[in-house]
Amino acid sequence: MTNCTEKKRKLIERLGIHFEKEMDLSPLAARILGLLILSPSEDLSFEDITNITCASKSSISTNINLLLQLKIIDYFTKPGDRRRYFRASRNHLKLTLNDNLSKVDKQLEVLELIDEFNQGAEKESNHKFQVRLLYREFLKNQQKNLQNTLKKISEIQDTQ
Amino acid sequence: MTNCTEKKRKLIERLGIHFEKEMDLSPLAARILGLLILSPSEDLSFEDITNITCASKSSISTNINLLLQLKIIDYFTKPGDRRRYFRASRNHLKLTLNDNLSKVDKQLEVLELIDEFNQGAEKESNHKFQVRLLYREFLKNQQKNLQNTLKKISEIQDTQ
DNA sequence: CATTTAGTTCGCATATAACCGAACAAACTA
DNA sequence: TAGTTTGTTCGGTTATATGCGAACTAAATG
């Protein structure tokens, strides 16, 4: 059940630290996510998670509900079994990329606002202008890459 | 001196909220940055910043030093004037993109670790494997875009 | 030398985050 | 119906973030 080798434990810690920083999760939520990512073909119940992470029931409950709410994880049930079995959401990459895309869009919007403001009155250095131009180009490329990847993901999911 | 129209004030608030979220700055630090970005050709002293943001000297001091430390802002002095004049760092985009690049590198590393782990034991679904492949491709494109943009920035800066 | 200017530093207040254990609740089981 | 399983919710603790005012310092000015 609690199939958790030393190697896996260490990797969970490693991923936990990574996700904590990169996804802005609480330490425990990040570790739970790490655990679930490394256990794609196992069925992990609430109790399994409690045992492996060694955290209190209440903290696990809170953090699982947080991850569920953020759609970072999923759960399924088995017939005749009251427990929920958790897993990393199959949809999460898609959601992340969409999130990313909207961030890029927001940055482009802000850039637009700054441009507008500067066109009005300020005598701006050529250098600053060029850098903003470059930055816009960069953001547009990010957009393209994101849109493209999202399209490919949809294609895979449609095939399945 | 405190050349600050209503329009500019509103835009400062707008940028403040944006930077607070996107750059993980304190509200005041984010507003100071917004202010400096919208005042590229003005000389903004400590006092100007105090007046425009309506925050206490101590908070301004703390937050300016924070922004300086993060290399998000810069300052210069004028001969025979003790005051420092602050501005958005000319180098900041470069630093941001470098940061971004190292994040992408870290994500690729973590992906590598997960792949390695899964090759060992787990019977993984084809779908998950394909998604990870796609994600890796996405990250590599991000890398390329970042590296490319950084190169172009260097070129601009060399010309100047 | 006394005062002003230009900032820094300190202690305090308030808010929020992260975790815990204990009590509680709802559903199933003997 | 009594007990067990599967969680949730509540109150408290500790740590950290954000801001303030008041006291301080170091340099320039009169």
Task: Please tell me whether residues B105 and B149 are part of one structural domain.
Answer: yes
B85 exposure class (CB count in 10 Å sphere: 0-12, 13-18, 19+)? middle
B18: chain A residues, CB-CB within 8 Å? 106, 110
- Tell me what percent of chain B is helix, strand and coil, each rounded to the nearest 5: 70, 10, 20
Whether the CB-CB separation of A158 and A105 falls below 8 Å is answered with no
Q: Same domain for A97 and A147?
A: yes
Residue A160: per-residue pLDDT: 61
> How many angstroms separate the CA of residue B65 from the nearest CA in chain A?
24
Report the distance separating Cα A44 and Cα A84, nearest Å. 8
Please tell me the predicted confidence (pLDDT) of residue B5: 81
Sheet holding B81-88, edge to edge: B44-45, B81-88, B73-78
What integer is the mean pLDDT of B31-51? Answer: 95
Query: In residues, how long is chain B?
Result: 160
What integer pLDDT is reported at residue B72 of this predicted model? 97
* A28 within a domain of the structure (yes/no): yes
Could you tell me if A120 and A151 lie in one domain?
yes
Mean pLDDT of A14-39: 96
CA–CA dist B44, A39 (Å, integer): 55
CB-based contact A23:A41 (threshold 8 Å):
no
Q: Per the structure, how many domains does chain A have? A: 2
Q: Answer yes or no: do B11 and B64 share one domain.
A: yes
Q: Could you tell me if A138 lies within 8 Å of chain B, comparing CB atoms?
A: yes
Phi, psi (5° rounding) for residue A81? -140, 120
pLDDT in tens, B2-36: 567 889 999 999 999 999 999 999 999 999 999 99
Closest protein residue to D6 (Cα–C1'): A83
Amino acid B1: pLDDT: 43
* Residues A82 and A107 both lie in one domain: no
**B136 pLDDT exceeds 70?**
yes
In the prediction, which pLDDT does A95 show? 94
Could you tell me if residue B1 is inside a domain? no
The domain boundary residue, chosen from B37, B70, B88: B88
Mean pLDDT of B110-133: 85
Same domain assignment for residues B64 and B76: yes
* A96 and A80 co-located in one domain: no
Give the structural domain span for B73. 6-88
Last residue of a domain, one of A64, A88, A112: A88
Q: What is the pLDDT of residues A97-113, one digit of tens each?
A: 999 999 999 999 999 99
**Which CATH number does the domain housing residue B53 bear?**
1.10.10.10
Least confident interval from A71-80, A144-153, B111-120: B111-120
Is residue A125 included in any domain, yes or no? yes
Question: What is the tens place of the pLDDT at every residue in A50-88?
Answer: 999 999 999 999 999 999 999 999 999 999 899 999 999
The DSSP code sequence of B97-138 is HHHHHHHHHHHHHHHHHHHHHHHHS----HHHHHHHHHHHHH
At residue A157, does pLDDT exceed 80?
A: yes
Cβ atoms of residues B122 and A37 within 8 Å: no
Identity at B45, one-letter amino acid code: S
Residue B52 lies in a domain: yes
pLDDT at A112: 96
Q: Does A156 touch chain B (CB under 8 A)?
A: yes
Per-position b or e across A54-75, b if 16+ CB within 10 A of its CB: ebeeebbeebbebbeeeebbbb
Cβ–Cβ below 8 Å for B160 and A11: no
pLDDT reported for residue A41: 84
Tell me, yes or no, if B22 comes closer than 8 A to chain A by beta carbon.
yes
> Do B81 and B13 fall into the same domain?
yes
On whether both B102 and B155 belong to a single domain, the answer is yes
Asked if the structure places residue A40 within a domain, the reply is: yes
The answer on pLDDT for A30 being more than 60 is: yes
Closest residue of chain B to A38, computed from CA coordinates: B114
For residue A1, what pLDDT is reported?
A: 43
Whether residue B152 lies inside any domain: the answer is yes
Please write the tens of the pLDDT for every residue from B48-102: 999 999 999 999 999 999 999 999 999 999 998 999 999 999 999 999 999 999 9
**What distance in Å separates residue B99's CA from the closest CA in chain A?**
12
Please check whether residue B146 lies inside any domain of the structure. yes
Helical spans, DSSP H, in A78-125: 92-120
Q: Cα distance from B59 to chain A (closest Cα, Å)? A: 26
A1: in domain: no
**Pick from B36, B65, B88: which residue ends a domain?**
B88
Q: Which residues, in sequence order, are CB contacts of A85 under 8 Å at separation 6+?
A: A43, A44, A45, A75, A76, A77, A78
For residues B40 and B86, the model is more confident at B86
Confidence at residue A123, expressed as pLDDT on a 0 to 100 scale: 67
Q: What is the mean pLDDT of residues A7-17?
A: 95
Q: What gap in Å lies between CA B135 and CA A82, rounded to an integer?
A: 35
Mean pLDDT of B124-147: 93
Q: Domain check: are B58 and B129 in the same one?
A: no
| B77 and B100 together in one domain | no
Q: How far is CA A53 from CA A1, A32, A114, B30, in A?
A: 14, 7, 47, 37
Selected residue with higher pLDDT from A138 and B5: A138
- One domain for residues A80 and A138: no
